[in-house]
Amino acid sequence: MATQFFSISYFISLYVVLLLSFSHLSLAIVPPSANVSQDAACRSTPYPYFCKSVLPRNENRNITDYGRFSVRRSLSAARKFLGLVDRYLRNRSNLSQAAIRVLEDCRLLAGLNIDFLFSSFKTLNSTKILPSLEAEDVQTLLSAILTNQQTCSDEIQVTESAWRVRNGMSLPLSNDTKLYSVSLALFTRGWVYKHKGKRRKPKPGRKLIFSDMEVVRHGHLPLRMSRRNREIYEYVGRRKLLQNSMESVLVRDIVVVSQDGNGNFTTINDAVAAAPNNTKIDDGYFLIYIVGGVYEEYVSIAKNKKNLMMIGDGINQTILTGNHSVGDGSTTFNSATLAVVGQGFVAVDITIRNTAGPAKGQAVAVRNGADLSTFYSCSFQGYQDTLYTHSLRQFYRECDIYGTVDFIFGNAAVVFQNCNIYARQPRKGQGNAITAQGRTDPNQNTGTSIQNCSIKAAADLVASNFTTKTYLGRPWKEYSRTVYMQSFIDSLVEPSGWSIWTGDFALSTLYYAEYNNWGPGSNTSNRVTWPGYHVINATDAANFTVSNFILGDAWIPATGVPYYGGLL
């Protein structure tokens, strides 16, 4: 046997590794209220060196104090970044139209970040002990802040004519992303707990209310309620669109959109403009009933249009359609036919299309960045990038989703339940990826959960004799997270199940999982062998249910939309 000799440097290195490992372990068991050094606090973040440049030096504080400090610094940075974007836009004569479009997207996202950070800091600064469910709300906002920043950064990087903007904004984007990541990590370490409590459910006995709405005002013109409004009540109650019919949902106002002039408005945008601003869910929904027809509009539900509900005459009866695409000069973010930001949005019985076609590249039908938003019995029709589940918490029930490349993508915490997902025939040379989840940080509480859905081929893909390969998803970002559970997967899905993005990117950091699926495409014996791919059990799958993943028991009942909180 040969004799092994170890140098003094070897033992020193070993000592350092053990010391660092022990420090990590010790931090994990230190309560958030205990004081720790800056070094110890920063080791729990994805960017330790950057963290140390931000936090107060030469003084020990507890993790929650560090978290408050970092969120306050993040708010200041977000305001400065918005100012930088505005300076570029004030000198837009020196910029290409493509660069201006990107900056306008960044301005919208930066404004949201300021709102989210202000709300988060206000919550953290008001109490020393934050209940676990309120902590989940803040974690959701801090997760969305990173998503918003990443969206802006992505658009600047892919827009060739935005080089002037890219040179001036790359460093602030990078530094702010690190700062937001540090804030999220410190917050998660200090406030988010494994065991989640139960939030008080909405009071029972909500009724459809008309008494407060003798007149609906649009601008300065009073519009009296027509007989049609009463018909909506009868129509909704008779069809039992929602769980206990609409009579179980609190509605403050009802307006009708009808292209024949028999309603309150002839366009959806006018009805949205008439909705009150910043309402609370306890005041009820502003309900827009959209009579069947094809509406060629681009509709945006702004952040101040909260708790707005749209009900149509049914899939392929009430149709909202547009054709903006990257191929025709739009940004992906702003190509949406329907863009939603206002919290508490609900849509029922509506089809939303982007008809740009497979040759035009990214073309979004719906972009959803609205917290606590719900789509029920809706259809999303497009090709590449059909449904952009951008951020925050979302729920989709009994919807139809059609597309080709990455046609369910984004970084929301989202559950699809009892939906039909149809892969279409893409343009020549392309393959289909159903999902492209965009989680960029291990502390984000985001991901895509697909439960009791049907994964099938659309008619045009069937007609092509399946010359296109179709996959369950591919990793758009480093910590991409997608779960299929209790769903029917037809034979269109390749035996390997999942596709790479490029090379070995994210294969060890992603989280892709399957649980108790069925159908000819569900066999997992020939699935990918990536470190991040898992066939999970019921205990793990339960983490991705409505009740646990998006805390749906706290907010979906108010919408009246049917759902089940756990596994089947």
Q: Which residues are catalytic?
A: 406
Residue 60 has φ and ψ, to the nearest 5°, of -90, 135
* Alpha helices (H) in 30-96, listed in sequence order: 38-42, 48-54, 63-90
What is the number of other CB atoms lying within 10 angstroms of the CB of residue 532? 18
Tokens for 45, please give them.
Answer: 């973040």
Residues in the chain: 568
**DSSP letter assigned to residue 562:** -
CA dist 464 → 428, 461, 467, 469 (Å) = 11, 5, 6, 11
- Distance CA(406)–CA(423), nearest Å, equals 10
What is the number of other CB atoms lying within 10 angstroms of the CB of residue 539? 7
CB 439 within 8 A of CB 418: no
**Chain-centroid distance, C-alpha 59:** 38
- Distance CA(443)–CA(135), nearest Å, equals 13
Say whether 178 sits in a helix, a strand or coil.
helix
| Neighbour-count burial of 502, counting CB atoms closer than 10 A to its CB (0-12 exposed, 13-18 middle, 19+ buried) | exposed
Tokens for 452, please give them.
Answer: 């009791």
CA dist 485 → 211, 269, 274, 432, 549 (Å) = 45, 38, 41, 20, 13
Tokens for 130, please give them.
Answer: 């934050």
List the one residue out of 382, 385, 303, 380 whose CA is nearest residue 345.
303
Residue 404: strand pairing partners: none
- Distance CA(568)–CA(562), nearest Å, equals 14
96: CB partners within 8 A, 6+ apart: 161, 162
